[in-house]
Structure 1
Amino acid sequence: MLIAESGSTKTDWVLVKNGVVYKRYKTMGYNPFFHNETIIYNSIKQDRKMQSISNQVDYVYFYGAGCSSNELNAIVEKALQRVFTKASILVDHDLLACALATYQGEPAISCILGTGSNSCLFDGENLIEQVPALGYILGDEGSGSYYGKKLISDYLYNKLPEEIKTQFNTTFGISKAEIFDNVYMKPHANVYLASFMRFISSFSEHEYVDQMVKTGMKHFMSNHVCCFDNYSNMKVHFIGSMSFVFEKQLRFSANELNIPVGKIIKQPIDNLVNYHIKYYSNN
């Protein structure tokens, strides 16, 4: 079986044979909000490593950002079926992957903080999404695109601390016109905005970044954790690069809101694979 966990930036794939991890692969991220069937199919088909195993796969379990309805899931499913012609295909939301990867036998809140952000409550059987994910324009609080947007707007408004502004100019040397072109004219603006996170994390100890991240984390938790009844009496797990890199700021903000932090995992794929090996080891 082939298990995939996809955000908007990248997809982690793991091939399992006889209950053992056999090979790992990486491709671009596939989000049916931004990628149609043809784009997804061509991307995978042109990957030699993925193509080499296409006839070896009997089951594909794909969990992805944007896979939140039957219509959207069908876009990804059709693309995968064209590549893995002999396989049974299951496509579901990345929130379910997050929940399965963090589940410890009791109800808990699971959160995604990566290129985008989202949350759910999972009791082992039922997944409850209390409030919707609004995407990078209206929401995605605490995510890479959220912080990238804040950095860029502060740069254009000339509000960055001088040392960060100087390094920004040295590193990127981009104009307002180039930024506008990437944000408003080209596809995948969310990924473009999140691409500034490597730069932002290099100043993680700077007061400007520290406060920006704490504010974003608190904004996310206020909207996506505190919306659940009894949130302060159950574990709240976090998955994604933002939660991993900025664990200190995450814990600070959680403490202010009386949120008990559970697991913090950079990438859910290994836990997700272990879950499937445990329950689907015959595939």
Structure 2
Amino acid sequence: MSNTTTLTIASTKINQDAEGRFCLNDCHRAAGGENGKRPSLWLTNKQTKELVREIAENSQSKNSCFGDFQPVSTVTGGNAPGTYVCKELVYAYAMWISPSFNLTVIRAFDDLVQGKMSRTKNMDTTLPLRRARLAFSAALRFNKQMGMEVGQARLKALATAKAQTGIDVAKAYGWEAVSQPAPVQARTLNATEIGQHFGTNARGANLLLKSSGYQTDSRDAKGRIVWTPTEKGRAYARLEDQTKAHAEGTVQQWRWYPSVLDALEGEGGVA
């Protein structure tokens, strides 16, 4: 029985991203790197697009255990750029290349599964690892729903899982490259600072953002107003950690990019 826990095809290591997808560019190299078999060409096929759409619409996909799953993800920077896809798409791509390569891929996945089974049988931490992975999955889903950038959402989910279980999920599962959040090119503003720009206070700024369609308001369990960016406003806002006043720890707060000032002025603003 094989002891591998990393997918290897034709002696080529196939990298995975933090959500378990496999690098299609590595698969292309494993197949010989023929120019006419590039992943970009395959992804433009009508049949491929239909398969991607079918997997995406199936929220209960076998590979969706890592949160808000998408079958295809393209990474353009960092240490491991490329196109990452779910297992089903790796099989489909391999068949498109050739039946013989498809068989090689099937056997490689068999070796991977056998290796993971062997590893699991010899690990006393199987249940804790599963709990840590589920904690990561839940935190990642929540962070994305809150509008965090992908890199920031993953890093905070890893930190949450470690705080809850004591396990470093990325290290335990061999995720070699977890995307770092992109550097912020501009500082952000709170409602008070936006209000100062328009000669009003924080309340006036929040009402302006609401009337212009950039945010909505609701009430929390204690009856306090909670402001949340609309779909229109998300392009100008980011959820950030803020240090609590007069207390330890942090809270999350929506803040606005300076570009929202120009957007508001273009819609009339306030005097």
The TM-score normalised by the length of structure 1 is 0.25
Higher percent of residues as strand: 1
By relative contact order (CA 8 Å, sep 6+), the higher-ranking structure is 1
- Kindly name which structure, 1 or 2, has the bigger radius of gyration based on alpha carbons: 2
